[in-house]
Chains A and B, each alone.
Chain A
Amino acid sequence: MNSSDNNKKRALGGELVIPVCAIVFTLYYFITIIDSPWTAQVSAFFIGVILLLLSVMFIIRCVLQVRRGEADYSLSRLFSGADIRSGRLALLAVTIGYIIVIDYLGFTITTFLFLFLGMLVLNQWRNKGVIGVLSASMALGGYLLFILAFDTRFPRGPFEIFMKAMLGDGG
């Protein structure tokens, strides 16, 4: 089989992720309710068994397609070099960092840092000035609208505490 044939094959590896996750989760769920009263089991078993059947049917369909040479188990539909080039993986890392840090630095500072880094990563580290101004105005705008005006309980940090001290009870 030459390379052009391989290119035409459907990459099924990615498509199997959801059914495999569904099977693993359903089995785990069954374990958690095995000793529970029937009220906790009845609908979960009903839905879970159907989900298992559907997932197994899909896996069998995939296996048959691979056997016929129409597909392979490649994950190329899900992961590719473009994920690194487009900055997607870096954005994911920055997002995880955002959730971790926001608990300590609060909404305004963390949102500024996240927007600044996220936009820089996606913009190939260009337009730092524009991105800096945009990030700062978005973060401050969010602070003014959601924290100062609505008193929404966003995660608070040094900036919010400082502003609260400056403005009295307003922040």
Chain B
Amino acid sequence: MEVDFQQLGEILAHTVGFWWVIVPTIFLGLIVGGIPGFSAANTIIILLPLTLAMDVEVGLVFMVALYSSSRMGAGIPAILVNIPGTAGAAATPLDGYPMTKAGRGQQALAMSFVASTIGGLLTTIMALLAMPILAEVGYYMHSVEMIVVMLFGISLIATIAAKDTLKGLIAGFFGLMIGAIGTDVVYATPRGTFGFLELYDGVPLIPALVGLFAVSEAFLIIEQDSILTKRGRELMRESSWAATFEGAMIALKRWWHIVWTSIIGLIIGVIPGAGASIAAFVAYQQSRTYSKTPERYGTGHPEGLIAPESANNGVTSGTLVPLLVIGIPGGATAAIMLVVMQYHGVNFGPTLFLDQPEIGYGMFMAMLVTYFLMAFTILPLSRYMSRVTMVRTVYLAPMIISFTLVGAFVPREYMFDMYLGLAFGVIGYVARKTGYHVAAILIGVILGPLLETYFLRALKKSDGDILTLFSSDLGNVLWVMLVLSFVAPMVFDRRRKKKAEGKTS
């Protein structure tokens, strides 16, 4: 499967001709990505009759554009009102929202857009060039390796817990325990479900996300007239186009940070079953671990925003690799793309790139063109989007509650999920008021069930031998990297202190 650059150029030129599909889809993607419950996957399912009726190329361009733009859209409410549109954006508000509160929402949006665009463009090119190698990553990532990848994400709990370790760990483990609700993966025994059939499949993610972030936030922001600080309001009133350029420049100056965190996203994206949320948490954790200023994370640090945004956009291109090369969808959206492609009689595997290059390479080109067009269509909007933070909280809070709670209903259409969203809202409210981090709870809820699934698979395969966790070479390399990511901050911290002491003496 050698890459013919002339052919790629021709396909790129051909794909640019679909701008009339891509541009409106970008705006649709921003809307569906920004509202919890309306993921790209849900929207594609809703519009499936339309997609199936389209010409296969137009349909695929539409789906790819929607997928990419919704990923970027999910970060917008995460930054502006502390509400991640999807689980993939759950790490974005950690540093994005403090920036907004300080009146730097416009800069934060611009940073996020630039990081997402560069991350998306770069990983799409990488995926194109290294497709045969990347396609094999999935073969090497078994249960044991996935356990370590999950632990990378879960170790972010310890990072978040830095201010009050005990409270941070309680929040994280409470989340893991909540994530363990539902039937076990082997014998389907119900556990901790309070007798609710609706919880047999586990705790649904969207109500947890909506409750912990959106509902609790809505009940908190009404304490003030605005979500902005007094100084933040002044800055917002004075802000001009220059703030957008300032944000873009801040991100561009950190180009290397965007590169390596988006590669984390790409690698995690090619692993079937892993997703944007894991990539974002792992990228944030790694970014903080190797940062020279880890203490600034969580306070509105640009790198804390850039890392999860470039990583979760890196996932989008990664997801296409196993889908096209081996016919295994890496996530829900890719699974729906698979259905559409099969409906149109598209064959997967290396022959796809030989027989129908306009589809095989065309999907990557559609992603490339989408990210490129997003830079020009979305970036100028950051000035206007950030104005939402000027709306008084007495109007904003009820809007947040109503639209996000209904969003909790949409994925499964259970009224129960709206009540669950409210229950998580109460937990989130109590946690925030008393100094527990809701992100730590959410990390547990998201990654806990995945960790358990891989853990049980590994144990079942090895007849309960716990040493199987250290039985693979790649797994052991990852274990060493995990240990290093714990040790490195301590070493860096000690070095910094020594340097500081040296300067003072």
Chain A interfacial positions (CB closer than 8 Å to B): 14-15, 17-19, 21-22, 25-26, 28-29, 32-33, 36-40, 42-44, 47-48, 50-51, 54-55, 57-58, 61, 77-78, 82, 86-88, 91-92, 94-96, 98-99, 102-103, 107, 111, 114-115, 118-119, 122-123, 131, 134, 138, 142, 145, 150-155
A residues within 8 A CB of B173? 22, 47, 50-51, 54
Do A36 and B456 have beta carbons less than 8 Å apart?
Answer: no
Do B430 and A17 have beta carbons less than 8 Å apart?
Answer: yes
Q: By DSSP majority rule, is chain B's interface helix, strand, loop, or mixed?
A: helix
Q: Is B398 at the interface (CB under 8 A from chain A)?
A: yes
**What are 18 contact pairs spanning A and B, CB under 8 A?**
A14-B430, A25-B174, A25-B192, A32-B191, A39-B460, A40-B184, A43-B452, A50-B173, A86-B223, A91-B219, A91-B222, A99-B418, A115-B398, A122-B222, A122-B393, A122-B398, A152-B38, A153-B413
**In chain A, what residue has the closest Cβ to B218?**
A91
Pick from A22, A107, A114: contact of B170, CB under 8 Å = A22
Do A51 and B222 have beta carbons less than 8 Å apart?
Answer: no
Do B223 and A98 have beta carbons less than 8 Å apart?
Answer: no
Chain B interfacial positions (CB closer than 8 Å to A): 31, 38, 43, 46-47, 166-167, 169-171, 173-174, 176-178, 180-181, 184-187, 189-193, 215, 219, 222-223, 393-395, 397-399, 401-403, 405-406, 409-410, 413, 415, 418-419, 422, 427, 430-431, 433-436, 448, 451-452, 455-456, 459-460, 464
Give the shortest distance, in Å, between A27 (CB) and chain B (any CB).
11
Do B189 and A150 have beta carbons less than 8 Å apart?
Answer: no
B residues within 8 A CB of A42? 455-456, 459
Give the shortest distance, in Å, between B421 (CB) and chain A (any CB).
9
Please list the 8 inter-chain residue pairs (A to B) with the smallest Cβ-Cβ separation, ordered nearest first.
Answer: A118-B398, A40-B184, A122-B394, A39-B186, A29-B192, A51-B173, A40-B189, A14-B434
Known A29-B181, A39-B459, A102-B418; further 7 A-B contacts with Cβ < 8 A: A47-B180, A47-B448, A51-B170, A91-B219, A99-B419, A118-B397, A153-B413
Do B422 and A95 have beta carbons less than 8 Å apart?
Answer: yes
Do B46 and A88 have beta carbons less than 8 Å apart?
Answer: no
Do A36 and B184 have beta carbons less than 8 Å apart?
Answer: yes
A86 CA to B397 CA, complexed, in Å: 12
Give the shortest distance, in Å, between B358 (CB) and chain A (any CB).
29
B residues within 8 A CB of A98? 401-402, 405
B residues within 8 A CB of A55? 170
Do B456 and A51 have beta carbons less than 8 Å apart?
Answer: no
B residues within 8 A CB of A115? 398-399, 402
Pick from B46, B394, B413, B422: contact of A96, CB under 8 Å = B422
A167 CA to B155 CA, complexed, in Å: 53
Give the shortest distance, in Å, between A98 (CB) and chain B (any CB).
7
A residues within 8 A CB of B190? 32
Pick from B180, B399, B430: contact of A29, CB under 8 Å = B180
**In chain B, what residue has the closest Cβ to A139?**
B402
Residue with the highest number of chain A CB atoms closer than 10 Å, among B38, B169, B185: B169
A residues within 8 A CB of B436? 18
Give the shortest distance, in Å, between B435 (CB) and chain A (any CB).
7
Contact A87 B222, CB 8 Å, known A25-B177, A37-B187, A134-B395: yes
A residues within 8 A CB of B184? 36-37, 39-40
Give the shortest distance, in Å, between B209 (CB) and chain A (any CB).
17
A residues within 8 A CB of B398? 91, 94, 114-115, 118-119, 122
Pick from B178, B402, B410, B434: contact of A17, CB under 8 Å = B434
Do B192 and A39 have beta carbons less than 8 Å apart?
Answer: no
A residues within 8 A CB of B422? 95-96, 99
A150 CA to B46 CA, complexed, in Å: 7
Give the shortest distance, in Å, between B433 (CB) and chain A (any CB).
5
**In chain A, what residue has the closest Cβ to B194?**
A28
A103 CA to B413 CA, complexed, in Å: 11
Do A99 and B399 have beta carbons less than 8 Å apart?
Answer: no
Do A152 and B46 have beta carbons less than 8 Å apart?
Answer: yes
A residues within 8 A CB of B167? 15, 18, 58
Give the shortest distance, in Å, between A132 (CB) and chain B (any CB).
12
A138 CA to B459 CA, complexed, in Å: 52
Do B405 and A99 have beta carbons less than 8 Å apart?
Answer: yes
Do A78 and B433 have beta carbons less than 8 Å apart?
Answer: yes
Pick from A15, A18, A37, A111: contact of B406, CB under 8 Å = A111
B residues within 8 A CB of A111? 402, 406
A21 CA to B166 CA, complexed, in Å: 16
B residues within 8 A CB of A87? 222
Do A43 and B180 have beta carbons less than 8 Å apart?
Answer: yes
Contact A150 B434, CB 8 Å, known A43-B451, A55-B170: no
